[in-house]
A and B are shown apart, each in its own frame.
Chain A
Amino acid sequence: MTESVKHIPARMFSTFVEHPLGIKFRGQHPQEEILLFLRKHWITNTGWVLVSFLLIIIPVFGLPFIDVIDLLPPTTPFGYIIVGFAFWYLVTLGYILLNFLFWFYNVNIITTQRIVDVDFIYLLYNEISSTVIGNVEDVTYKRAGLLGSLFDYGNVFVQTAGSDPNIEFLSVPHPSTVSRIITGLLQRS
Chain B
Amino acid sequence: MDFIINLFSQNPLFIVKIFVLLLEIIYISFAFVLYRQERLMATTVEVPVASFFQVLSLAHFIGALFLFVISIFIL
Q: Which residues of A contact B (CB under 8 A)?
A: 9-10, 12, 22-26, 77, 79-80, 82-83, 86-87, 90-91, 93-94, 97-98, 101, 104-105, 107, 118, 120, 123-124, 126, 128
Contact = CB atoms under 8 A, between A and B. Distances in A.
Nearest to B75: A79
B41 interface: yes
Nearest to B57: A97
Given A87-B67, A104-B53, A10 B47 contact: yes
- Interface band, chain B: 20 to 34
Nearest to B35: A97
A98 B53 CA distance: 11
A152 B13 CA distance: 55
9 contacts: A23-B45, A23-B46, A82-B74, A90-B64, A93-B60, A97-B34, A101-B41, A120-B40, A126-B40
A95 to B, nearest CB: 10
A63 B16 CA distance: 21
A123 B34 CA distance: 7
A22 B34 contact: no
B33 to A, nearest CB: 5
Contacts of B33: 123-124
Nearest to B16: A80
Contact of B27 (A77, A91, A118): A91
B14 to A, nearest CB: 12
A12 B49 contact: yes
A104 B49 CA distance: 11
A97 B46 contact: no
A86 B49 CA distance: 27
A-B pairs, 8 with minimum CB distance: A79-B74, A105-B41, A24-B46, A22-B48, A26-B44, A25-B45, A83-B71, A12-B49
B60 A90 contact: yes
A79 B17 CA distance: 11
Contacts of A118: 44-45
Contact of A123 (B16, B37, B63, B75): B37
Contacts of B67: 83, 86-87, 90
